[in-house]
């Protein structure tokens, strides 16, 4: 859908731009020449208003010429500078909540062709800890947002019991790594977020996330999530854990030549994880993100609506407007 919109925007800008150029350099001069000719033929008796109507600009040409500058600005800004996105799920909580509207820095890693996503000019490198929007590798028409945990060459290990990550930089497949990136965790603490559960198709499923202060009781069908601060190198952020939840280890992406829950990031690829660790379908389950799929770095929240996944907003969270950490 995102690529289709980009294609439509490019075509609309191109068509209106061609018409704008034709009008400016061919049609408009022809209209002015016609008016001058009519003045001579009528001996100056007919007023300018009447002459202008005799050589009036067609309505469709006027419309295209008027919208072209607007479309051009939108195309340039959306394709190369900033693009807005909405957070539809809770996989990046507590960093990003359902209903947050974020702005993504499109030029953070490179200027790309808006249609083919080919990098035209390299402007920067992704860093561990970046919150990144990318095309979902299994369905590039869908945009995902996760935190970048592993760079090319990193060996990433995830302990499904402690819910902790180990990153060993600059490894190659089959090579034994001895140096690990400093990854530290704070002590678990109750968060203000509660996840409620219901029955769906005979099995338990999440029905929503709610902001309920730790001093208040948890609903009967809810579980208070645990918050920990994760420091990934020099980037510190909060992660959430569901108490007692077990990962579907059997669904993990099994990289050839590596043990389960261990991945060596190939060249030109990245390993992504959601901050809501027990509620995120990420690289643990479907593998790596190619560099060409990167859309940009999420840098700020410009609006936030209080809502649940798939439901209408019930309020506005102005306090959330600001930067992303």
Give the active site residues. Answer: 91, 146
Q: Are 87 and 93 in contact (CB under 8 A)?
A: no
For 13, other C-beta atoms within 10 Å of its C-beta total 20
Name the one residue in this structure whose structure tokens are 């990420």.
Answer: 282
CA distances, 302 to each of 15, 94, 103 (Å): 32, 17, 7
Q: Are 191 and 225 in contact (CB under 8 A)?
A: yes
Q: Are 94 and 240 in contact (CB under 8 A)?
A: yes
Q: Are 292 and 117 in contact (CB under 8 A)?
A: yes
Three-class DSSP category at 203? strand
Residue 188 corresponds to which tokens in the numbers above?
């678990």
For 270, other C-beta atoms within 10 Å of its C-beta total 25
DSSP classification of residue 276: B
């Amino acid at each position: 859908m995102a690529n289709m919109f980009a294609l439509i925007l490019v075509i609309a800008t191109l068509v209106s731009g061609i018409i704008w150029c034709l009008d400016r350099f061919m049609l408009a001069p022809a209209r002015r020449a016609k008016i001058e000719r009519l003045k001579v033929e009528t001996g100056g008796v007919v007023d300018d208003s009447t002459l202008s109507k005799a050589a009036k600009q067609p309505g469709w040409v006027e419309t295209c010429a008027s919208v072209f500058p607007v479309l051009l600005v939108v195309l340039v800004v959306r394709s190369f500078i900033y693009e807005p996105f909405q957070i539809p799920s809770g996989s990046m909580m507590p960093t990003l909540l359902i209903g947050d509207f974020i702005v993504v820095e499109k030029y953070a890693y490179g200027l790309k062709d808006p249609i083919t996503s080919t990098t035209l000019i390299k402007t920067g490198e992704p860093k561990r800890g970046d919150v990144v929007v990318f095309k979902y590798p299994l369905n590039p028409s869908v945009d995902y947002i996760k935190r970048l945990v592993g760079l090319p060459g990193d060996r990433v290990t995830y302990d499904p019991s402690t819910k902790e990550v180990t990153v060993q930089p600059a490894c190659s497949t089959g090579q034994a790594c001895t140096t690990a990136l400093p990854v530290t965790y704070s002590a678990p603490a109750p968060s203000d977020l509660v996840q409620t559960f219901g029955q769906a198709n005979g099995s338990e499923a999440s029905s929503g996330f709610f902001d309920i202060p730790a001093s208040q009781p948890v609903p009967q069908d809810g579980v208070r999530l645990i918050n920990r601060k994760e420091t990934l190198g020099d980037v510190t952020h909060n992660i959430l854990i569901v108490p007692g939840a077990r990962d579907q280890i059997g669904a993990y992406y099994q990289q050839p030549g590596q043990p389960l829950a261990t991945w060596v990031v190939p060249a030109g690829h990245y390993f992504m994880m959601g901050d809501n660790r027990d509620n995120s379908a990420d690289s643990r389950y479907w593998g790596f993100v190619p560099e060409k799929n990167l859309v940009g770095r999420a840098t700020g929240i410009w609006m936030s609506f209080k809502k649940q996944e798939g439901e209408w907003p019930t309020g506005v969270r102005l306090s959330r407007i600001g930067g992303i950490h």
